[in-house]
Structure 1
Amino acid sequence: MLKKIPVTQLKTGMYLQSLCGSWIDHPFWRSKFVIKEQNDIRLIIDSGISEVWINLDKGDDVISSDDNKRVISTRNAELESQDPSTNIDRVSIVLAERPKPASITDEIQRAEKICDRSKNAVMSMFQEVRMGKAISVDLAGEVVQEISLSVMRNPGALISLARLKTADDYTYMHSVAVCALMVAVSQQLNLDEDQTREAGMAGLLHDLGKALMPTEVLNKPGRLTVEEFDIMKSHPEEGHRLLLESGSVGHIPLDVCLHHHERVDGSGYPHGLKGSEISIFAKMGAVCDVYDAITSNRPYKAGWEPIASIKKMSEWSTAQYEKDIFHAFVNSVGIYPVGSLVRLSSGRLGVVLEQSATSLLTPKVKIFFSTKSNVYISPEILDLSHPMKDLNAEQIVGHEDPAKWAFKNFDQMWAG
């Protein structure tokens, strides 16, 4: 039985079912646990949360057990009369009202916090699997919700931040990045709210099977042997088994977990499916998975630049990816993704800040370097979708590799 109480009534021995407020705003990586220390209560109060839900079947109440027996029937009646959409004890989540768009400047700090908390949550799920415990799907739902809301406010912020993962945290941040990409592609395909949520959940859980891979193979700082690659190729089936045993995820996450390495030409694994044999969600998962993998730093290689990755994937698209899915993906991240270094017709260099609503070729850029003078210049933000009314209006004429120019703190140019 669930009961909502003010945080001032919290005490040790209670089972905390849910915190009333945004997951990203509270100090815990999960919201379901037994309160064992006064410090937990202090952290909840200090976070600014005013109310919480407790589970009386799993922990203490604010009143004695004798008094509690007299109110159980009343509380059950209250819960049964509630609108089902307010029932917080379900595994699925409902996205809040669609948030208003935000600039990357406004969203970037919040997205950074979401990335950090989400990485820790994924890490905890992997650790639970390695210890033989059931996965925390309720936690996964909270992660997906916060990522989805951030993508709706500004997709470039979180997606681009997630790309900046280090080789050490790749496995966990990869799940966060693919979740965000799946949500962004779902929006481009005009999928409904339930499908978008499930696609995000699929992205977050698609690599869960890697938790069971030998760490010396998973983190090997070099090319895998044939035998090691065969071991790694078992992770989709292992992840599918884990999710199936949990009994708490839907068909879409199960499907994407099992089939995100399938390819439309039949060259993928584990089942060699081709064309229409692969679901739209598994095809989405394949594109999102590959993009984040090739743009990320790995133990054995540096990631490619976003623009180069899009170009290379377009060369593969006919054989490996569904055309419409790949186009929706490109529309979601842009031909010049956020964080890309571009050369303008004036010879100046700029970093892409945001996509344009009107054209993939005219993003908003921050200009900061002159190739003619080979010097830094005062930063200037230029919206290429609103050019000056003259014959010398700036255009992107190519992209550059930041490593070639040896810029210091290049990512701070757009990420702050």
Structure 2
Amino acid sequence: MPTTFGDLLLAPEAMSTTTAYLQRQKFLPVPLHTLCVTGELPVDIYLCQGRDDAPVLFRRRNIEIPPDEFPKLLESGIETVFISRDHVEVYQQHLEDNVAVIIANESLPLERRLQFLGDTGRSILHEVFQADQLDQTLEAVDDLSNHMVELFAGNEVAVSDLFSVLRHDYHTYTHSYNVASYAMLLGKELGFSSDEKLRSLSVGGLLHDLGKLKIPRTILNKKGRLDNQDWDIIRRHPFDGFVALVNRPEVSRDQLMMVYQHHERIDGSGYPVGLIGDEIHPFARICSVVDVFDALTSSRPYRTANTTNEALETLDRLANDKLDAEMVQCWKALMKKPS
């Protein structure tokens, strides 16, 4: 019999923290929001009583789920559930089979569809980035980008509404999804409104930090101040991403420049080359603005997130010298535009 939510909360601790940690490595964390609108599930669902506990079976696969069950878990404060890593491919296929139907379902509020696509996108990126298989990553990014274009191009998405449903943490997969979403909205406002251009912005945003997969986690998660050696390693990521993608025929020049140039700055102070002004590709300048905004408004191990107003004030200070001033002003207007 599956464990009920009440049983789970009352279950005594049955194993050491070390054993529980090793058990958790066999499971993939899944945002609960992605399960609230997909009906029956082809995988077993597990819950954790506490952060250091091993997952416990909550709901077996392929059985009818009461419509209020997952919403009740969300109300109780549970945002993440787990599936066995043995069933990841089945789960990913389940998401792919459902995402197109869900984002096209106009009876669902746009906010809910945005949240579903965001949670689904992060889950997919998390898994493919962790696997570190470029073919698999590019295939997943291609599929995800198509879904993003369908939802963003076919609806009037307000940046403020999007901001409210996105997560804001330091994980590369979260940041990549956020940057891709913001880049599409900024590009659309700047006149890059064709599906082809929006798709290119989406793919470039999803891949822009691919080179960070080579950075040791000890540096990415470091709580103290980064030293010069740490920064030398971090500053290699645009080059490493470029090298990984430059010979891939499915990656366009626009997308490649977003990967390679998103840390270049208007005054030549950026990296990896030190380009100046219009030497920087327009798509890379779009990426730079939203990359900085998302970095400022996301929590880091070493600092709390800025408010949106604080982040916009920082962008203002960086306009002209560091970031494209027109694009900064356009982004500020989008952020203040009512939904």
Secondary structure in structure 2 of the residue aligned to 1:333 = helix
Match of 2:137 in 1: 136
Aligned to 2:168: 165
Unaligned runs of 5+ in 2: 1-36, 43-85
User: Which residue of 1 is the match for residue 223 of structure 2?
Assistant: 221
Quote the residue 1:121 is aligned against.
124
| Alpha-carbon shift at residue 194 of structure 1 (Å) | 1.2
In structure 2, how many angstroms separate the alpha carbons of the residues matched to 1:127 and 1:288? 24
Seen in structure 2, the aligned counterparts of structure 1 residues 40 and 269 have a Cα distance that, compared at 3 Å, is closer
1:377 aligns with none
Superposed CA deviations along residues 152-199 of structure 1, whole A, max 9, x for unmatched, are 42233333322x3334xx221100000001100111011132111101
Superposed displacement of residue 135, structure 1: 4.1
Q: TM-score, length-normalised on structure 2? A: 0.66
Confirm whether residue 205 of structure 1 aligns to residue 213 of structure 2: no
- 1:118, 1:144 → 2: CA distance? 9
**What is the CA deviation profile of residues 303-336 of structure 1, one whole-angstrom value per residue up to 9, with x for unaligned ones?**
10001111221122121112222222223322xx
2: CA distance, partners of 1:286 / 1:214: 23
Which of 1 and 2 has higher RCO (CA within 8 Å, sep 6+)? 2
Give the whole-Å Cα distance in 2 for the aligned partners of 1:174 and 1:197. Answer: 18
Asked if the contact 1:159–1:180 (Cα under 8 Å) also holds between the matched residues in 2, the reply is no
Which residue does the alignment assign to 2:189? 188
Matches within 5 A, 1:16-415: 40=90, 106-129=109-132, 133-152=134-153, 153=155, 154-156=157-159, 157-162=161-166, 164-167=167-170, 170-191=171-192, 192-334=194-336, 355-356=337-338
Q: CA 1:48–1:309 in 2, change beyond 3 Å: closer, same or farther?
A: closer
Judging changes above 3 Å, is the alpha-carbon distance between structure 1 residues 216 and 40 closer, same or farther for their aligned structure 2 residues? closer
Distance 1:149 1:229 in 2: 38
One-letter code aligned to 2:289? V
User: 1:147, 1:223 → 2: CA distance?
Assistant: 36
Cα–Cα, structure 1 residues 295 and 40, in superposed 2: closer, same or farther, change >3 Å? closer
Larger-Rg structure: 1
Hey, what does 1:340 align to over in structure 2?
none
Superposition deviation, residue 136 in structure 1: 2.8
TM norm structure 1: 0.54
The whole-number CA distance in structure 1 between the counterparts of 2:307 and 2:124 is 27
- Quick check: which one's strand share is greater? 1
Structure-2 separation of matches of 1:123 and 1:261 = 23
Q: Say whether the 8 Å CA contact 2:298–2:305 is kept in structure 1.
A: yes
Partner of 1:83 in structure 2?
Answer: none
Deviations 1:216-242 (A, max 9, x none): 112112221011011000000111111
Aligned length: 251
Pair 223,148 (structure 1): closer, same or farther in 2 beyond 3 Å: farther
- In 1, distance between residues paired with 2:248 and 2:124? 17
Give RMSD over aligned pairs: 3.3
Checking the alignment, whether the CA contact within 8 Å between 1:182 and 1:285 is kept in structure 2 is yes
Relative distance call for 1:251 and 1:133 in structure 2 (3 A) is closer
When residues 48 and 222 of structure 1 are mapped into structure 2, their CA distance, relative to the original with a 3 A threshold, is closer
Alpha-carbon deviation of 1:151?
Answer: 3.3
| Structure 2 SS opposite 1:261 | coil
Aligned partners of 2:168 and 2:297 also within 8 Å: no
Instruction: For residue 172 of structure 1, give the secondary structure of its aligned residue in structure 2.
Output: helix
Q: Which amino acid aligns with 2:262?
A: H
Decide whether aligned partners of structure 1 residues 268 and 48 sit closer, same or farther in structure 2, where only a CA change above 3 A counts: closer
Partner of 2:22: none
Contact 2:149 2:195 in 1 (8 A): no
More helix, by proportion = 2
Counterpart residue identity of residue 158, structure 1: L
- What is the letter of the counterpart of residue 272 of structure 1? G
Query: Matched residues in 2 for 1:40 and 1:315: separation?
Result: 48
Moved more, 260-269 or 217-226: 217-226
CA 1:118 to 1:40, structure 2 compared with 1: closer, same or farther past 3 Å? closer
For residue 113 of structure 1, report the CA deviation from its aligned partner. 1.4
